[in-house]
Every structure is written in C-alpha cells, then in structure tokens.
Amino acid sequence: MNDQILTYSSEKQGIVTNTALPMDSDPEMISLRPHCLSDYIGQAEVLETLKIAIEAAKQRGEALEHVLFHGPPGLGKTTLAHIIAHEMSTKLMVTSGPAIEKGGDLIGMLTHLETGDVLFVDEIHRLPRAVEELLYPAMEDFCIDFIFDKGIHARSHRFRLKPFCLVGATTRVGLLSAPLRDRFGIFRSLDFYTPSDLERIVRRSAALLALPIENDGAAELAKRSRGTPRIVNRLLKRVRDYAQVRADGRITRKTVNAALALEGIDEMGLTPLDRRYLMTVIEYYAGGPVGIEAVAATLQEVTDTLVDLVEPFLLKTGFIIRTSSGRKATDAAYRHLKLTRA
C-alpha cells in the first residue's frame, strides 16, 4: 500500500517526490553525482565527520562504523553512501527497507559482503520487525544466529560475518526503534542547502552537461529548488529542454522564469500542491490551527504525502507552524499569496 502511495504521489508531483524517479536513473543524471568527498558540495559538518571517520578506519585497516543519515528526501543520503564505498575502496550493495520482506533476504545479502563492504539500506525505518531484530547481532558482533529444526530438535548455529559497514537512510528518524538507532556509530542529520551551495551545484551540473548558463540563471534555479539538490538537477533538465526549443539554448533568468512558469513553480519554489495546502488552511480553516488529517481530507491527498513532501519546506520557510492544536498559516504565507487576514 505504501509503495502504491509513493508511486501515485511521484506521478502527481513530478518535481517534488519522496523517492527517486526514473529520470534520476538516467546515465546523465547519475553522472552528476559526486564520486568523492572533495567533489561533494554542502553539508560541511557531515563531510568533516565522514572525512575523519574514513581516514581513521583506513589507517586502522578496519571497516567504517555504521552510519545513519536522516533528513528530507533528495538531500544526498544515497550519494553519500556511494561516496563512502568509493573512499573506502570497497563494494556497495544497495537495497531498501520495504524490499527486504523476510529474514532470509537479509541473511543472503549479509553473507555475500566482503570485509569492509558497504550495505546501504534506504528507508530503513520501514524494515519489518523480524528483519530488524536480525540486524542487531549482525551490526554489533558481526554474526547471525540460525535456528535449525523445530521443537525439541531445535538447535542454534552462529555464523560469523565479515566486518561490514551498514549505511542507513531515513526521512522519518522518529519511526526507528531505539535498539536499532543506538547501534549506529555515526548519526548525522542532513539539512536543506543554502542558495549559494545550490548555485555551485547548478554550475557544476551545467558544466557536466555542457550547458551554457549565466549567473542570474543559476541563481534563479537555486532560489526555486526548495533547498534540495535532487530538485535543482530536475529543474535544470526541464529548463534545458525549454531553452533548446523556445530560446537560443542558453540558460538565463528569463528562460528559467518562463520554463518554471509552465511547471507551476513560483519564485519561492512552491508547487501547485504547496499553494493548495496553504490556501486550504487559510480559506477553509481561517488560517488554522487545523489538524493534518483535516487538511489531507479536504485536499483529497494522503497524509504521508503532506507530511513528507509538503510540510518540511513550508516549515523551513516559515509559511506554516505546528502547534499543539494543529497547523497554522503565518503572516509570511499571507504575504506570499497576496492575501490579507480576515
């Protein structure tokens, strides 16, 4: 059911999604990902932590400590997992919480890992409980306990694993159980990017795609990308297509404005769903406070879609606030929508 919800949301949103879209797997999009820490832009404190931990692990000849990244989608959690494997000169195995349905699936992955290899589990908070409990000894003691036979003939066998590094990523760290969360040695939060960092990302991506881009065009793209690298790269592709067909192929502020107007993305990066959310709170509920379930019912959207995709950016920009009695629209939201309080 959750997978269907996420797919449905992805088709509706286009630019802002909770998961990677097929366009993110295009070879040219994959080539935009940095492959080493020196190429990674932003998240300075996280990078410094990883540099120290990786260098120390390499000097000792050990596997890196288990790492947990949490934060909104599109901020680089998967990219950092690839970088960790590259910097440690080991292999990377990629999976996700919903994909591991049985303990046998996890055991098969763990037994194929070599010393120092990296296992990346996206949306780790969605691991089934039985699978999660298998991870406890695997992470702590690098072993798995097998149970053979049943009843009075049951016996246990401990299988030793090769030391590995588990990299977990989650958009909802509060849903992780305390025993699993406590077994990660490195626990870092990824925050939204600053406009200056996003400008650097745009220029780097444009250079890799051989796209001529002016400074004002890069600045405008950065301003409208919701502080998210994944979104800025998607927008760059949309603007590239528009510039190729309707302009001279060069990305300027005028080109960006025209291209994103077709996508319904305004000067703050708000999508049509964002504006509908704000208008619902303001018009139907007098600016709030209102519960998220009521807003979701009015919009005919899934609550998880609003919590995961819409609210993080609106909270970051100060357009809504959460109170004990529900969500409220702020004065900034009224000004942005050119409305006045009743």
Are 226 and 312 spatial neighbours (Cβ–Cβ below 8 Å)? no
Instruction: Give the span between the Cα atoms of 7 and 172, in whole angstroms.
Output: 18
Instruction: Give the span between the Cα atoms of 122 and 95, in whole angstroms.
Output: 6
* 60: in domain: yes
Same domain membership, residue 183 and residue 47 = yes
Same domain membership, residue 113 and residue 80 = yes
* CATH number of the domain enclosing 217: 1.10.8.60
Instruction: Give the span between the Cα atoms of 159 and 157, in whole angstroms.
Output: 6
Same domain membership, residue 160 and residue 48 = yes
pLDDT at residue 22, rounded to an integer: 56
Query: How many Å separate Cα 285 from the centre of its chain?
Result: 31
- Which of these three, 263, 280, 307, is where a domain ends? 263
Same domain membership, residue 225 and residue 206 = yes
- Which of these three, 189, 205, 223, is where a domain ends? 189
* CATH number of the domain enclosing 103: 3.40.50.300
Same domain membership, residue 138 and residue 91 = yes
pLDDT at residue 16, rounded to an integer: 65
**Which residues form the catalytic set?**
77-78, 122, 171, 230
Q: What one-character DSSP code corresponds to residue 73?
A: T
Residues contacting 97, CB < 8 A, separation 6+: 121, 122, 123, 124, 125, 126, 127
Domain span at residue 239?
195-263
* 248: in domain: yes
Same domain membership, residue 303 and residue 258 = no
**The amino acid at 95:** T
pLDDT in tens, 238-275: 999 998 888 888 899 999 999 998 888 888 889 889 99
pLDDT in tens, 204-230: 999 988 889 999 999 999 999 988 999
* Weakly modelled stretches of the chain, pLDDT under 70: 1-30, 342
Same domain membership, residue 213 and residue 175 = no
User: Following DSSP, what letter does each residue of 36-49 receive, concatenated?
Assistant: SGGG--S-HHHHHH
Among residues 317, 218, 233, which one has the least CA distance to residue 275? Answer: 317
Same domain membership, residue 230 and residue 140 = no
Please tell me the total count of domains within the chain: 3
* 180: in domain: yes
* 26: in domain: no
Radius of gyration over alpha carbons of the chain, in Å?
Answer: 22
Same domain membership, residue 212 and residue 89 = no
Same domain membership, residue 244 and residue 127 = no
Find the angle CA(96)-CA(68)-CA(322) to the nearest 5 degrees: 95
Give bridge partners of residue 316 from the DSSP assignment. Answer: none
Same domain membership, residue 185 and residue 48 = yes
pLDDT at residue 69, rounded to an integer: 95
- Which of these three, 239, 263, 287, is where a domain ends? 263
147, 237, 266, 290 from 298: Cα distances, Å: 50, 33, 23, 11
Among residues 10, 16, 82, which one has the least CA distance to residue 234? Answer: 16
pLDDT at residue 174, rounded to an integer: 86
Same domain membership, residue 126 and residue 98 = yes
User: Following DSSP, what letter does each residue of 264-281 receive, concatenated?
Assistant: T--TT---HHHHHHHHII
DSSP SS3 for 146: strand
Q: How many residues in total does the chain contain? A: 342
114, 294, 324, 329 from 279: Cα distances, Å: 53, 13, 21, 9
CB neighbours of residue 43 within 10 Å: 22
* 155: in domain: yes
pLDDT at residue 15, rounded to an integer: 63
Query: How many Å separate Cα 313 from the centre of its chain?
Result: 13
pLDDT at residue 220, rounded to an integer: 92
Residues contacting 4, CB < 8 A, separation 6+: none
* CATH number of the domain enclosing 308: 1.10.10.10
